[in-house]
Structure 1
Amino acid sequence: MEESLFETKIGSKLHYYKRGSGPIMIVAPPAWGLSSLYLQEGLVPLEQSFTLIYLEFRANGKSTRPNASEMTCWHLADDIEYLRQELQLETIPVLLGHSGGGTIALWYAIRYPDKVDRLVLLNHRLDGFDDGESLKKSIIEKKKDPKMHAPLKAWTSSWHDLSDEKFASVIRLFLPVYFWNPDASVQSKELNGLQTVPLWNYQLLRGNDQKDQHQEQELGKVSAKTFMIFCQADPVCTPTQGIATQEGIAGSKLVIYEQCGHFPWIEKGEETFRDITEFCNL
Structure 2
Amino acid sequence: MELQIKQHNGFKYVDEGQGETLLLLHGLFGALSNWQGVVEEFARTHRVVIPMLPVYDMPLTRAGISGLVDFVEDFTQAMQLTQPAVVLGNSLGGHVALVYALRNPQRVKQMVLTGSSGLFEDGMGGSFPRRGDYQYVQERVAYTFYDPKVATKELVDEVFDVTNSNAKCLRIIAIARSAQRHNMAKDLGRIKAPTLLIWGLNDTITPPVVAHEFRRLLPHSELHFLDHCGHAPMMERPQAFNRLLQQFLVPAAGPAATPA
TM range (shorter): 0.7 to 0.9
Q: CA separation in 1, counterparts of 2:206 and 2:39?
A: 19
Q: Deviations over 1:227-255 (max 9, x none)?
A: 11111211111122222122122121111
Q: Deviations over 1:85-139 (max 9, x none)?
A: 122233332111111111111111122122210111111112xx3567xx9xxxx
| Aligned equivalent of 1:225 | 194
| Aligned equivalent of 1:246 | 215
Is residue 59–residue 201 contact of structure 1 (8 Å, CA) maintained in 2?
yes
In the alignment, is residue 80 of structure 1 matched against residue 83 of structure 2? no
| Secondary structure in 1 matching 2:6 | strand
| Aligned equivalent of 2:165 | none
2:106 to 103, 114, 118: 114
Is residue 37–residue 238 contact of structure 2 (8 Å, CA) maintained in 1?
no
In the alignment, is residue 27 of structure 1 matched against residue 24 of structure 2? yes
4+ residue runs over 4 A deviation: 155-158, 167-170
Paired AA for residue 161 in structure 2: T
When normalised by structure 2's length, the TM-score is 0.80
| Secondary structure in 2 matching 1:206 | helix
| Aligned equivalent of 1:205 | 175
Is residue 177–residue 235 contact of structure 1 (8 Å, CA) maintained in 2?
yes
In the alignment, is residue 196 of structure 1 matched against residue 161 of structure 2? yes
Q: CA separation in 2, counterparts of 1:277 and 1:57?
A: 25
| Aligned equivalent of 1:172 | 138
Please report how far the alpha carbon of residue 29 of structure 1 lies from its aligned counterpart in structure 2 after TM superposition.
Answer: 0.9
1:263/1:88 Cα in 2 relative to 1: closer, same or farther (>3 Å)? same
Please report how far the alpha carbon of residue 276 of structure 1 lies from its aligned counterpart in structure 2 after TM superposition.
Answer: 0.6
In the alignment, is residue 100 of structure 1 matched against residue 92 of structure 2? yes
Is residue 38–residue 190 contact of structure 1 (8 Å, CA) maintained in 2?
no
Is residue 260–residue 268 contact of structure 1 (8 Å, CA) maintained in 2?
yes
Q: CA separation in 1, counterparts of 2:206 and 2:242?
A: 20
Q: Deviations over 1:165-212 (max 9, x none)?
A: x477743343222222323434xx7524415222122211225x7662
| Aligned equivalent of 2:8 | 5
2:42 to 38, 42, 46: 46
Please report how far the alpha carbon of residue 219 of structure 1 lies from its aligned counterpart in structure 2 after TM superposition.
Answer: 0.6
Q: CA separation in 1, counterparts of 2:61 and 2:222?
A: 34
1:43/1:236 Cα in 2 relative to 1: closer, same or farther (>3 Å)? farther
Q: CA separation in 1, counterparts of 2:112 and 2:126?
A: 32
Structure 1: segments with no counterpart, 5+ residues: 7-12, 136-154
Is residue 74–residue 213 contact of structure 1 (8 Å, CA) maintained in 2?
no
Paired AA for residue 137 in structure 2: I
2:61 to 69, 85, 104: 69
Paired AA for residue 40 in structure 2: V
RMSD: 2.9
| Aligned equivalent of 1:152 | none
Is residue 246–residue 253 contact of structure 1 (8 Å, CA) maintained in 2?
yes
| Aligned equivalent of 1:55 | 51
Is residue 27–residue 52 contact of structure 1 (8 Å, CA) maintained in 2?
yes
Structure 2: segments with no counterpart, 5+ residues: 163-167, 252-260
Is residue 202–residue 230 contact of structure 2 (8 Å, CA) maintained in 1?
yes
Paired AA for residue 53 in structure 2: F
Q: CA separation in 1, counterparts of 2:125 and 2:63?
A: 24
| Secondary structure in 1 matching 2:113 | strand
